[in-house]
Every structure is written in C-alpha cells, then in structure tokens.
Structure 1
Amino acid sequence: MPTSDGLPIGALSRRTGLAVSAIRHYEKLGLLKPWRNAGGQRRYERADIRRLSFVMIAQNLGLSLTEIREVLSGLPGGRTPTPEDWTRISEGLRSHLDQRIRTLEKLRDDLDGCIGCGCLSLPRCALYNPQDRAARHGAGPRYLMGDSPES
C-alpha cells in the first residue's frame, strides 16, 4: 500500500539522474515495484530514490543486476529503509568487495605477465586463466561475459 501520493516516473528520473527508460528497465527486472494511482499512472515511493541510488552505486562496485536484485529483496516493502537496513546490506556486500579488492590487487601485481586484453584464450594465462579453465564455459572472454572463475 502506498505511503503517499507517490512520485511520477518523470520526477523519479529527475531526482536520480536516470533516464525514464532505465527506470522502466529496472522495474522489469524487479528492482522497483511501482503502484498505479486511480488514473492508472505509475507511482513510486520516495524510498525508490534510495533504491535507484543503491543500484547505481552497486553497479559501480561491479555487482550484476541479478546480484543487486537479490540484495534489494532484503529491503522492506512499504516503508523507507532504516539506517539499520542499509547497515545490514552493506555488511553483506563486504565479502563481494573484499574479493573484488583481492582480484584488483592480483591484477596490479601480475599485470606485467598479462596485457589485460581479456581474451582468456591463452592456454597458460597465469593471471585469469591458468590451465585454460575458462574454455569449459565456451568461446570468448568468458569471465568478462559473466562467467565466474570459481564456477
């Protein structure tokens, strides 16, 4: 149940700096759950401004939209998230960020043995693809395409 008259999509776009098409895309992915007013127009909660800000920040941190949707599913519906809600979520992201930091440090330390092309086709790429592990996922730059080195 909405807690106010809600924000129209144009206002949400202006407040977040996101294009209306991006907001609709995020809605289709389940990152936002607008409601409809009596006239059938989409309306968004003010808390959606924070949700979209989080989406943009999380993408900059390297999270996929699927991962972001999972994280956001832990936020309460129908009310603005509290500082405690955000603390819980940020603590949950620590392991992801720690892994990203380790990966970036390894890249920095091993860069002289890799030109950073992302090809992952070299059978003996010591940095990203030792023993050509990525080949089992198929052709192309598998890790850049979303495959995980751990999978």
Structure 2
Amino acid sequence: MTDINREIRTHDLAPGEVARRAGVAVSALHFYEREGLITSVRTVGNQRRYHRDVLRRIAFVRVSQGVGISLADIRAALATLPEGRTPTKADWARLSRSWRTTLDERITRLEKLRDTLDDCIGCGCLSMQSCRLANPGDTLSEYGDGPVRLLGRS
C-alpha cells in the first residue's frame, strides 16, 4: 500500500536498492506492499521510495514466513509497530514474545511428526489404525482401507 501522506526524505531508498539490500526481488516488494506488510511513498514523478526501516520489516517478514507464520499473522504483528519511527529492539522483542506460544506448539507438533513419521511413511492409506499422524484414533476406518481422503470422504 502506498502512503501518499508521508513525506519523502532524502535518505529514502529506491525499490532496486531495497531489493538488493533485503535480498528479495522488486516484485516481492510490490507483493509485500499489496499485502499491507510494508509501505512506500511516491515521488513527484510517481516513483516508489521506501523509508530505511522497511529493511527490518522485510527481514522480519522473511524470517517469519520461514518458520511458517501466516501473512495474516505477520501483517497483524507489523500493525502493532510504531509509525513514524524505526521500531526499537524492545518493539521487536514484544512482538516476538507474542508468538512464543504459537511457535512452541508448532515445535511440539514437528517433534511429534519427527518421532512418528516412520510409522506412516509409504503407507499412503491415511486410514490405518496405526497411523498416529494423519488419522489419530483411526477415525476413517469405517470407510475401509485405502486413500479415502482422496475420494472426498471425511
């Protein structure tokens, strides 16, 4: 989303510079902007310019996506950061604390997957009584053996 209300500063960055420094494509910047994750301002010639704090926001988006946080959750978190100033270490710490429970739950699920994956690999049926991952409690056994989820039954 382009913000026409913020003034352009001489140290604002062009999209190519932001992309280079953040390690993303310019198209990713445009995507992040459309998703409301970052903002830009426009020059008199209608060119995008980004405030320097966008680099930290992009880094945060990339790391968050890398651990499986949804764009909606990332957007909501970024919306809690201050406008008009670069977020401080305390701002980022507060934000990361808010995800701790979610990340701990995700870690628990991943550990369970790691520890039980060999019980399920290769079977393909998703309804075996011993499948503790895809069918805990064998809730699909009433449909018989085989890939019943692929048939649209649940």
RMSD: 2.0
Paired with 2:122 and 2:92, the residues of 1 have a C-alpha distance of 35
What's the CA shift for 1:123? Answer: 2.8
Letter in 1 for 2:98: G
Residue of 9, 18, 27 corresponding to 1:4: 9
TM norm structure 2: 0.77
Task: Indicate yes or no: 2:77 matched with 1:71.
Answer: yes
What's the CA shift for 1:116? Answer: 7.5
Task: Indicate yes or no: 2:15 matched with 1:13.
Answer: no
Letter in 2 for 1:69: R
Structure 2 partner of 1:122: 126
Q: Is the 8 A contact 1:2 1:45 kept in 2?
A: no
Structure 2 partner of 1:110: 116
What's the CA shift for 1:43? Answer: 0.9
Q: Find the structure with the greater CA-based Rg.
A: 2
Q: Is the 8 A contact 1:2 1:78 kept in 2?
A: no
Task: Indicate yes or no: 2:88 matched with 1:82.
Answer: yes
What's the CA shift for 1:4? Answer: 2.5
Task: Indicate yes or no: 2:16 matched with 1:43.
Answer: no
Structure 1 partner of 2:106: 100
Paired with 1:15 and 1:59, the residues of 2 have a C-alpha distance of 18
Structure 2 residue matching 1:30: 3-state secondary structure:
coil
Q: What is the correspondence of 1:52-67 to structure 2 with a 5 Å cutoff?
A: 52-67=58-73
Q: Unpaired segments of 5 or more residues in structure 1?
A: 133-138, 141-151
Q: Unpaired segments of 5 or more residues in structure 2?
A: 1-5, 141-148
Paired with 2:25 and 2:54, the residues of 1 have a C-alpha distance of 14
TM norm structure 1: 0.78
- What fraction of aligned residue pairs are identical, expressed as a percent? 48
